[in-house]
Structure 1
């Protein structure tokens, strides 16, 4: 925990449980010293601000991102954290192996994708090869075996689920074991979309982070969780509309999560029926094409389709991101290219007088 909280901000003030002394407030970034104090105080759980929960519509706010890893201080406004995240994950990717480990037994069941293909599989949110069966409820395991089939029955206080195990699968649970929600019952990779359904955005994000880190750590590469968070935020940004209620959204369409909330709040305020929807996990390719900027999407893939669709719908590009500004030859809205630096007035009169004085001398 100590490693993961350094450079972050807490959601609520943290007090020492024994002395009731304030360790860190919401306005102070957790340094190594503060992290030591938190661990020494015996605090095991801590709620910190994260890019995943940031409510900024464009980009992320300083406090949710926390420490910029290049300078070890609070990240500057205008820093391109998305590009830094992509580079930090992509560059060590060159050191990863390009292999699939084959173990004996039925082909496809125990073949574990590793290295770069595994990272790609995770970020593209694909259904993996040899999907593991996961428990939909928390409860006690009972294994039933007959000549024809093997079944795992998971029983909780008020529910029971039965899973048929494919022939030749290696079991990960024993009779009498207690399992959690989304825990795998057989060996194999978990389908992230199933985790999203059972455990929500936080659960799927935790799974993606731990799996990506596992691949890199196997090769001795250390990536900060923050970079995976930035990519994960983009993958979980959309909501699929199921029932549009009295709003102007279409059922089945993908809408930005915060835009969806705003439209619903407006509808509720007017006494109308709000829309219902489900958070979806998009792979990075689909997420890039589902961006609000048609110029950015067109520069990535399927240029003709993206531009045709934009023309039919009469889309407007607000030029918020970096790619769209590069395409039309404008200054990118990052670093010193941000609006707040455009109207700076720097007085040079004094300096000119000083220069004139020195030349006269």
Structure 2
């Protein structure tokens, strides 16, 4: 059928005996489906690329080192028993956050803030180390961009990334371009009815747009032990009871859902109770931002790797960081921000810093997960947002609020015809002065001077 489901009508005759009219019709549908799929997919994938570029276009390598003390503890990404992305692949071209020590000999394989090369990554894996703490785009402190150490190596050239590299655009292209290779179909996993997991392009869009996923998993809000799983035939549901340290919660899950936990299991909050996709917005309410970022990274990698497409982690990290760069102010304290305002994390920290310096009570906020379309429209640059979508709404809104555009990204500078702040357009390159070549200093002789001197000495010698 057009939606990718398998029709329950097998073609039982063959071309030699002849097909019936219906069978002939079904088989032609099958043959044409491939072509229509490809045509539709190209448009979808192109639009995804455009949205990705728009949300990340202002992410540029802005400095050498942001001096953060946070990082990411990474392991191989697994799905059941198979490894989706090995630890070695995830380590190459990243910087360490803590020194890596051989578990048996105790020798230091790598110091702090050192680049992990292919050989070193292999050595780490061979030593039997399973978790390594690295610098990551997620934990970078650079405002409006990333620093060299948190990004690591430039995957295009294999050398260290340069200040001024437009890594946001590179990330968007790297994720969007293989989109055409992903399938549009939802695969039907045999066995349980209603257990279709969305895969391929629709799943990638679902993740990046932060939509409520199809086949949503029920997650727990408490850390504790599963004390009871009971079935209720009358309402056709199962009830899972979890005893936490402070309270006991009961979750109702559908009768048909496949359980991921059993009685007696100890689970942490945010863990799924049933098979399916976790809603990242729910996860953000019960866990911290880093857990959500890690979950989104793993999910995107899973889709691409299952189709045999390899993408560097850092590209996805750049995108996911853009989705979580806003906070919603809950209690303004003495900062004078209106409650409910969406602010960039960097701006929020600055305002709080000023408030604290003035001796006031700082504001409190909670992180917000925005889909890429929403995140693009919520940027500080109204020019960039207006050139993306809903132009009239964005411009009227900007006019009413009297917004200023800081011109930090690429699009807004292109629109007004300024030089873009990337590559050699970065202030630190543009302010370079050519060195003045001074007159040769006194103690430098030209060849002719030396020759003249030698000739004079020879003349003296010959006289003697």
TM-score in terms of structure 2 length = 0.71
The whole-number CA distance in structure 1 between the counterparts of 2:104 and 2:254 is: 52
Change (3 A) 1:15 1:186: closer
Pick aligned residue for 1:260 from 326, 344, 348? 348
Q: Quote the RMSD (CA, aligned, Å).
A: 2.3
The whole-number CA distance in structure 1 between the counterparts of 2:108 and 2:174 is: 35
Alpha-carbon shift at residue 183 of structure 1 (Å): 2.0
The answer for the alignment partner of 1:130 in structure 2 is: 215
Alpha-carbon contact 1:105-1:168 (below 8 Å) kept: no
The whole-number CA distance in structure 1 between the counterparts of 2:189 and 2:131 is: 39
The answer for the alignment partner of 2:298 in structure 1 is: 210
Alpha-carbon shift at residue 347 of structure 1 (Å): 7.0
Alpha-carbon shift at residue 20 of structure 1 (Å): 4.6
SS of 2:287's equivalent in the other structure is helix
SS of 2:333's equivalent in the other structure is coil
Alpha-carbon shift at residue 172 of structure 1 (Å): 2.5
The answer for the alignment partner of 1:171 in structure 2 is: 259
Q: Deviations over 1:259-314 (max 9, x none)?
A: 11221122222221111110011111111111111101111111111111211222
Higher alpha-carbon deviation: 337-346 or 240-249: 337-346
Pick aligned residue for 1:55 from 141, 152, 163? 141
Change (3 A) 1:345 1:181: same
Alpha-carbon contact 2:97-2:113 (below 8 Å) kept: no
The answer for the alignment partner of 1:354 in structure 2 is: none
The whole-number CA distance in structure 2 between the counterparts of 1:337 and 1:78 is: 8
Alpha-carbon shift at residue 27 of structure 1 (Å): 4.2
SS of 2:370's equivalent in the other structure is coil
SS of 1:74's equivalent in the other structure is coil
Alpha-carbon shift at residue 52 of structure 1 (Å): 0.8
Q: Deviations over 1:188-247 (max 9, x none)?
A: 221011111222111111111111111111111011111000001101100001111111
Flag structure 2 segments of 5+ consecutive residues without an equivalent. 1-86, 439-464
The whole-number CA distance in structure 1 between the counterparts of 2:309 and 2:342 is: 35
The whole-number CA distance in structure 2 between the counterparts of 1:146 and 1:94 is: 45
The whole-number CA distance in structure 2 between the counterparts of 1:325 and 1:287 is: 19
Alpha-carbon contact 1:137-1:154 (below 8 Å) kept: yes
Alpha-carbon contact 1:140-1:156 (below 8 Å) kept: yes
SS of 1:126's equivalent in the other structure is coil
Confirm whether residue 32 of structure 1 aligns to residue 118 of structure 2.
Answer: yes
SS of 1:230's equivalent in the other structure is helix
Change (3 A) 1:163 1:105: farther
The answer for the alignment partner of 1:92 in structure 2 is: 178
Alpha-carbon shift at residue 345 of structure 1 (Å): 4.3
The whole-number CA distance in structure 1 between the counterparts of 2:257 and 2:134 is: 40
Q: Deviations over 1:68-99 (max 9, x none)?
A: 00111110111110011000000000011111
The answer for the alignment partner of 1:118 in structure 2 is: 203
Aligned residues: 349
The whole-number CA distance in structure 1 between the counterparts of 2:155 and 2:191 is: 45
Flag structure 1 segments of 5+ consecutive residues without an equivalent. 351-361
The whole-number CA distance in structure 1 between the counterparts of 2:192 and 2:308 is: 31
Larger radius of gyration: 2
The answer for the alignment partner of 1:321 in structure 2 is: 409
The answer for the alignment partner of 1:308 in structure 2 is: 396
The whole-number CA distance in structure 2 between the counterparts of 1:325 and 1:86 is: 19
Confirm whether residue 225 of structure 1 aligns to residue 310 of structure 2.
Answer: no
Alpha-carbon shift at residue 182 of structure 1 (Å): 1.8
Q: Deviations over 1:28-71 (max 9, x none)?
A: 21112222333344433322111111111121111110100011
The whole-number CA distance in structure 2 between the counterparts of 1:147 and 1:318 is: 60
Alpha-carbon shift at residue 161 of structure 1 (Å): 1.3
